[in-house]
A and B are shown apart, each in its own frame.
Chain A
Amino acid sequence: MKKQFSVLLTSLLVISMLGSCSDTGDSSGGTADNGGAGSDVSAPETFTYPMEYDGDPVTIFVNDLFALHKSYTSADESPLHIGIEEHTGLDFDWSFPPLGSDTTQALNLELAKSDLPAAIGNLKPKDVELYIEDGVLIDLTEYLPKYAPNYWAILNDPANEHIRQTYTTDSGQIGLFGFWREDDFGAVWRGPMLRKDILDKEGVDIPETIADWEEVFEAMKRNGLNTVGELGNFDIFLGSGFGAYGTFSKQIYVDNGEVKIAQMQPEWKEYMTKMNEWYEAGYIDPDILTMDDATMKSKVANNTGGIVAGAMSRITYFVQEAENTGNGQEWVGVPFPSEAEGEPACQIWLEDVARGDGIGITTAATEEEIEALCRAFDWFYTEEGNYYINFGEEGVTHTRDADGNLVWTDALLNGAEPLREEITKYATMAGASLGWQRTELVKALNVPQAVDAVETWRANQVAAEHLYPAGVSFTVEEQDDKANYESVIDTYIKECALKFMTGEMDIDTEYDAFLQQLDEIKINELIDIYQAGYDRFNAR
């Protein structure tokens, strides 16, 4: 009996030892393999996905970078998320902001929780420094070369200086896996558009200068048409024709390293004088002050709006409407006007190509999870991962024709929702995600007319030189002061700009008082804060 027992015990021991041996053998073997291979060649491609990870699913809270399509209730049903887990080999425990909630608030609530997820997004690079200081995020600098060689290589490529600056903090830390666009194609998605059929009928050319535009306005007016659009879309309108960088909303821009505000420049005054003239002449619809997208569309459909300040997707909409209703409207994007014919146009509607969104790893992550997360996120910076997150699986969402051109599958084209929505079930890059958004994708999602419009808008302009970077961050003190000045200034500028246009305030006599009031509400202090942030950004 005793002997039997001891045999049993020994065998049990052996079995358990064997078991634990094989356990550790497996995992350490796995990492050794990968790590060994990595250190041998130290080339990014050598890590093979899917990875081996046998820990619990890793918690992640994320907003639109890996958005859950609204028709799914959980990530278990979503092809996008299933695919991510299959490809990377890492099981995630996904959580998302509730549908329809304010994303900033949802994120802040998540940050305020006592149990943080292991990874959190979308975070803005401007907040990263503080989040690291507050003990929310970890600094990834030491992990990236080891576990995220692809991302690290991109950041250290001298050609990607701007991306590196955006995702590095003022003190040289890296807290995010970031997002950016392949080039400025996806970043210039707003501009002026008009009805070419009217121009043709009137024998007027596509306008290039302000003088041309006045002819266009007049031609439109003869046909009972004026300019419509949501107010926000007028922030870039025809200012470039005067050398002015903004319209109604406070516009910060950079001129030779110096931060400036468009509304304080004499060029803007000139522009507003003209806007006032145009407004009184009836070239601009007085309803733009209250106009929403639906009103804008109905004005276009009712033939009262012939010029629209809007996004490229509006052109897609108008073109499809014209096809469906046969209303004979022909919409094209027209270039931002320049001061003189042939000169490049200054304008600020170029979104920073490194828009500044990313996912960070929190202090709640264990060492093991950090490694796994870095590996998983790094996949999106490989050719394969980037292709997947842009277009989805070949054969499911799209096929390639003989010339290698992308063809969406019927399932996507004939889905219940428009293509732009359907694709987000399989790939999130139509909005934003980790890695870079491919220009091919943006083009494939829009009608040729809209693609042409963007090409027109981005050609012959110098906005990129003047753009205030999205990745600038501010210190706590700066943020406090900025919060105090900024709402007041934003409100004041917008209010006055619109009154200058409508004539309720006389630009000739009241512009100086406007500048003086701006000075009183501390505009110069605000500019100094922006300047300081910008200088630190450049020093990164």
Chain B
Amino acid sequence: MKTAAGAAAKKKPFFQRLKEDLARNKMKYILMIPIIVYFVVFHYKPMYGVLMAFQRYRPTLGIAGSRWVGFDNFIDFFADPYFWRLLRNTFSISFYSILFGFPAPILLALMFNEVKNERFKKTIQTISYMPHFISLVIVCGIIKIFVQTDGIFPVFIESLFGVPASNWLTKSPYFYPIYVISGIWQEVGWGSIIYLAALSGIDQELYEAAKIDGAGRLQQIWHITLPGILPTIMILLILRIGGILSVGYEKILLLYTPTTYEVADVISTYSYRRGIIDADYSYSTAVGLFNSLVNIVFLVTTNKLSKKFTEIGLF
């Protein structure tokens, strides 16, 4: 019946249908206006600035007056001696963040779900998402103090294993663990909220049925809870992979040192140094555009794969 109605509607011309719909849902359309205006003003209009990527942009001449250079900025970027290092680092940081950072809130949510004492659960939950509200600058300041030579972690490790204390932020092998673990610490509680919401939507009767069938706790999680929140997991994973090149550069900027550039310098930090500090706007726009393109490719690919294997997708 639905399809029949749809087919019938499709036969009418677009404007005819729009007019009818407008008449029927007038208030809804009025409510939509601010959102449409918001998107046009703040998301679509600024996009003309992307043209800078194909120019030698000079603020005094503006986009209308600057010289067009085609793909020169992109070529400069690809030919940059650091290009491969930047790409490798960006993917590595993203990869480790997803590998360890993505499952963490799911596990935490599952654990919360098993806690039966409501008061205890609420308290722990609140504590766990508190760090999310601490400014990144402060978090990084804390990290710096904790891992410097006389900081708590190096000193602790020294007393346990006799490894001489050193400043961990200056050592390349320590960079990813510091970045990923502190990231998990800060965001795990916050990230678990959405899974908890999904968990509350699971039909409790399923658990009762499983219990009668003799399923243990873990079996219940595996066969009921996880499939129940799988759509949420997949959607979030697709979104996360869609941002694979958009690593949290603010945090890297605050934590890296020249001796860890080798592993920590990513596309966005490099283009920050060159684009913002050296005011080379065209170059950083080109890099940003390249970033977005790669992200879109990943987003679409993951979405396709996800649809194929789990039948869940964004679009």
A33 on the B face (CB < 8 A): no
Contact for A488 among B58, B81, B280, CB less than 8 A: B81
CA–CA, A295 to B278, complex, Å?
28
CA–CA, A295 to B169, complex, Å?
14
Interface size on B, residues (CB 8 A): 35
Residues of B within 8 A of A286 (CB): 149, 166-167, 170
CA–CA, A488 to B257, complex, Å?
16
B41 on the A face (CB < 8 A): no
A411 on the B face (CB < 8 A): no
Of A56-64, A103-111, A174-182, which binds chain B?
A103-111
Of B7-15, B26-34, B59-67, B235-243, which binds chain A?
B59-67
B158 on the A face (CB < 8 A): no
Q: Which of A117-136 contact B (CB under 8 A)?
A: 130-131, 134-136
B278 touches A494 (CB 8 A): no
CA–CA, A497 to B259, complex, Å?
9
A105 touches B276 (CB 8 A): yes
Nearest CB of chain B from residue A115's CB, rounded to whole Å: 12
Measured as residues with beta carbon below 8 angstroms from the partner, the interface class of chain A is 35 or more
Residues of B within 8 A of A136 (CB): 60
Nearest CB of chain B from residue A364's CB, rounded to whole Å: 13
Residues of A within 8 A of B276 (CB): 102, 105
B261 touches A295 (CB 8 A): no
Residues of B within 8 A of A292 (CB): 144
Nearest CB of chain A from residue B55's CB, rounded to whole Å: 12
Residues of B within 8 A of A520 (CB): 81
A134 touches B258 (CB 8 A): no
Known: A290-B257, A483-B278, A498-B259. A491 touches B273 (CB 8 A): yes
Contact for A499 among B61, B166, B259, B270, CB less than 8 A: B259
Known: A136-B60, A502-B170. A484 touches B259 (CB 8 A): no
Query: Which single residue of chain A is at the shortest CB-CB distance from B283?
Result: A483
Query: Which single residue of chain B is at the shortest CB-CB distance from A302?
Result: B150
A508 on the B face (CB < 8 A): no
Residues of B within 8 A of A301 (CB): none
Query: Digit string of B249-281 for contact with A (CB within 8 Å is 1, else 0)?
Result: 000000001110110010000100110101111
Residues of B within 8 A of A171 (CB): none
Known: A105-B276, A289-B170, A502-B170. A112 touches B56 (CB 8 A): no
Query: Which single residue of chain A is at the shortest CB-CB distance from B56?
Result: A480
A491 touches B82 (CB 8 A): yes
Q: Which of B166-195 contact A (CB under 8 A)?
A: 166-167, 169-170
A112 touches B62 (CB 8 A): yes
A290 touches B60 (CB 8 A): no
Q: Which of B135-182 contact A (CB under 8 A)?
A: 144-145, 148-150, 166-167, 169-170
Residues of A within 8 A of B281 (CB): 108
CA–CA, A502 to B65, complex, Å?
48
Interface set of B (CB-CB < 8 Å, partner A): 56, 58-62, 65, 76, 80-82, 144-145, 148-150, 166-167, 169-170, 257-259, 261-262, 265, 270, 273-274, 276, 278-281, 283
